[in-house]
Amino acid sequence: MSIDALVAYVVERLPELWLRTGEHLMLTGCSTLAAMFIGIPVGILLFRATYLRGLLMGVIGILQTIPSLAMLVFLLALLKKIGALPALIALTLYALLPIARNTLTGLEEVSAEVMEAAKGIGMQEYQQLMMVRIPLAAPVIVAGIRTAAVVGVGIATLSAFIGAGGLGQFINRGLALANIKLILLGAIPAALLALVVDFSIGAFEWGLRPERKRDKKGSVQSLMRRLAFMLPVALVLISIITYFTKPGWISKSATQLKTSHRIIRIATKNFTEQLILGEMMAQLIEAKTDFIVERKFNLGGTMICHGALVNGEIDLYAEYTGTGLTAILKHPVISDPEEALNHVTKAYHERFDAQWLKPFGFNNTYAITVREADAKKNEWNRISDLGNTAIELRAGFTAEFAERPDGYPGLRQIYGLRFGEVRDFDAALMYEAVAKGQVDVICAFATDGRIAAYNLKPLKDDRNFFPPYHAAPVIREEIMKTHPKLGDVLSLFGGLIDNATMQRLNFEVDGKKRRTSKVVEEFLKAKEIL
């Protein structure tokens, strides 16, 4: 890729980059601030109340060991909300430990001699703390804040999983689309941001140093110091302002927003096909209705999308019948596609006030897939053919597949298969892993474009184990009631996309690295829907 093309690539995404950077800084800044307001008093409390130390530091330490994603999902379940709030809470909890611990350490390390002098000249307890102990501990406390903030920049990339935005959104999208440029578009600014945050808190510390008292009033030095002192606060303020008032040149729909307040929020899970379907629904609704579409794409999985829909955080996303049946409703597998759709439609209406619309047409079920060359050599055509050789094979599954009842556990039961080794993979990396021979078997998605592109062979499900996975728009009934036209518009998709078409669309984006919105636009135009 030439430099010009690279520059153009970045320039084109500059408005969004600005927006995401602002979000990222807001998440990091606000959570670090919140952690300061909690962590410093906690540190002071622990310094005074020795008996609480073991307990509280233990609790804060345990919080730190919870994996970030688990924490996000847990908070999501607790708050019943996606977006910035759970992300901020998670980031605040992570920032607590370095701040509270450094506060405690800093206070403890102040020399006993100086403290005796403070007491001996007649300072009250609180004066000893405020005038001597805390100022002397300040550099250590600030170092803790610095650690918390820099680590926070890193952790904040995960917030995109629950729709909180930030630079992680590029990274997630890049991972979902196997697009390295997009990953870097998130990762490089995040790294730079970490440096900026580190520098600004360093500047703050310099502004806080006792030597400031010697600066001449009104001198350049004293002005610089004041500016340095304000730098982190200024950064956080700018980010908050960017967050709440998206400048006009960023949001194309800003002017439209004034005339119409009807917004529909469309979500997707974090893989290519979902992004395509989400974009398709978005473009159609934008073209055929006067709704403003808010794209909440790339949420981190089924449970997050479903939870958001039920809590009214989003209005619409594409779900698969098999997933709705087994993962959401915890119902045993129904092999008949029609019956499966009827069952989820009825259950969603009764339990979640959500409606299943006409399926798109394709069946994105799991397909146990091997390299075509291996299949030829060993005469593998059906899953049963793997039989006893399975124990010599290495399997690469998505984490979801490895645990779901309609995944590996069920497969073992029905076919009696035992693979020699099972490794967890991101869905996007699985295909490459099998193509390169790092694993021998994967749980491919039947509509993935890479099956054909990488010369892979899906084996026939001869015992009808995998349930049907027909994708269909799932929408909140509340919005359907007020705008029944939405149903008519979305039903234009009914039966429109077969497996081969979906494979092709997926490959356009995954394999050829084309922009999702372009691919979708072309497709809709070709079908004369737009």
Partner 1 sequence: MIKLTRVSKTFDGGRSYAVKDLSLSVDRGETLVLLGSSGCGKTTTLKMINRLIEPTKGIIEVGGKDVMDHNPVDLRRQIGYVFQGIGLFPHMTIEQNVEIVPRLLGWPIHSRRERMQELLNLVGLPAESFAERFPDELSGGQQQRVGVARALAANPTYLLMDEPFGALDALTREALQQQLLTLKNQLKKTIVFVTHDLHEALLIGDRIAILHEGNLEQIGTKKDILDTPATKFVQDLFTIKRPDTLT
CA–CA gap between residue 366 and residue 219 (Å, rounded): 70
Among 16, 74, 124, 237, binds partner 1 (CB under 8 A): 124
Among 58, 61, 135, 416, binds partner 1 (CB under 8 A): 135
Surface-to-core class of residue 78, CB atoms within 10 Å of its CB (0-12 exposed, 13-18 middle, 19+ buried):
exposed
- Output the smallest distance, CB 222 to partner 1, in A: 13
C-alpha closest to that of 160 among 178, 146, 177, 174: 174
When asked if residue 120 is in the footprint of partner 1 (CB under 8 A), the reply is yes
When asked if residue 118 is in the footprint of partner 1 (CB under 8 A), the reply is yes
Closer by beta carbon to partner 1, 133 or else 269: 133
- Output the smallest distance, CB 301 to partner 1, in A: 51
> Collapsing DSSP states into helix, strand and coil, what is residue 296?
strand
- Output the smallest distance, CB 215 to partner 1, in A: 10
When asked if residue 132 is in the footprint of partner 1 (CB under 8 A), the reply is yes
Among 12, 16, 109, 116, binds partner 1 (CB under 8 A): 116
Among 67, 122, 218, 484, binds partner 1 (CB under 8 A): 122
- Listing DSSP states for 222-285 in one string gives HHHHHHHHHHHHHHHHHHHHHHHS--TTT-TTHHHHHH---EEEEE--SSHHHHHHHHHHHHHH
Sequence-ordered list of residues with C-beta below 8 angstroms from that of 202, at least 6 positions apart, any chain: 146
- Output the smallest distance, CB 118 to partner 1, in A: 7
Options 78-86, 116-124, 356-364, 418-426: segment touching partner 1 (CB under 8 A): 116-124
Residue 428, CA atoms < 13 Å, CB-side half-sphere: 21
- Listing DSSP states for 351-417 in one string gives HHSEEE----B-B--EEEEEEHHHHHHHT--BGGGGGGGGGG-EEEEEHHHHHSTTSHHHHHHHH--
Options 127-135, 168-176, 341-349, 416-424: segment touching partner 1 (CB under 8 A): 127-135
- Output the smallest distance, CB 131 to partner 1, in A: 8
When asked if residue 117 is in the footprint of partner 1 (CB under 8 A), the reply is yes
Among 87, 129, 136, 236, binds partner 1 (CB under 8 A): 136
CA–CA gap between residue 185 and residue 34 (Å, rounded): 28
Among 213, 217, 261, 330, binds partner 1 (CB under 8 A): 213
Closer by beta carbon to partner 1, 62 or else 131: 131
Closer by beta carbon to partner 1, 127 or else 464: 127
CA–CA gap between residue 503 and residue 462 (Å, rounded): 22
- How many residues bind partner 1, per CB under 8 A? 19
Instruction: State the DSSP code for 486.
Output: H
C-alpha closest to that of 150 among 24, 240, 38, 3: 24
- Output the smallest distance, CB 185 to partner 1, in A: 45
When asked if residue 327 is in the footprint of partner 1 (CB under 8 A), the reply is no
Options 13-21, 121-129, 250-258, 400-408: segment touching partner 1 (CB under 8 A): 121-129
Q: How many CB atoms lie within 10 A of CB 374?
A: 16
Among 7, 114, 195, 452, binds partner 1 (CB under 8 A): 114
When asked if residue 62 is in the footprint of partner 1 (CB under 8 A), the reply is no
Kind and range of the H or E element at 445?
A: strand 441-445
Closer by beta carbon to partner 1, 214 or else 377: 214
Closer by beta carbon to partner 1, 115 or else 230: 115
Classify the C-alpha dihedral 390-391-394-395 as positive or negative: positive
Sequence-ordered list of residues with C-beta below 8 angstroms from that of 449, at least 6 positions apart, any chain: 503, 504, 505, 506, 507, 508, 509, 510, 511
- Output the smallest distance, CB 218 to partner 1, in A: 16
Surface-to-core class of residue 401, CB atoms within 10 Å of its CB (0-12 exposed, 13-18 middle, 19+ buried):
buried
Q: Are 67 and 73 in contact (CB under 8 A)?
A: no
Among 4, 113, 350, 379, binds partner 1 (CB under 8 A): 113
Among 127, 260, 335, 378, binds partner 1 (CB under 8 A): 127
When asked if residue 123 is in the footprint of partner 1 (CB under 8 A), the reply is yes
Options 57-65, 206-214, 467-475, 479-487: segment touching partner 1 (CB under 8 A): 206-214
Tokens at residue 213, please?
A: 């008292």
Binding site for partner 1 (CB under 8 A): 113-114, 116-124, 127, 132, 135-136, 210-211, 213-214
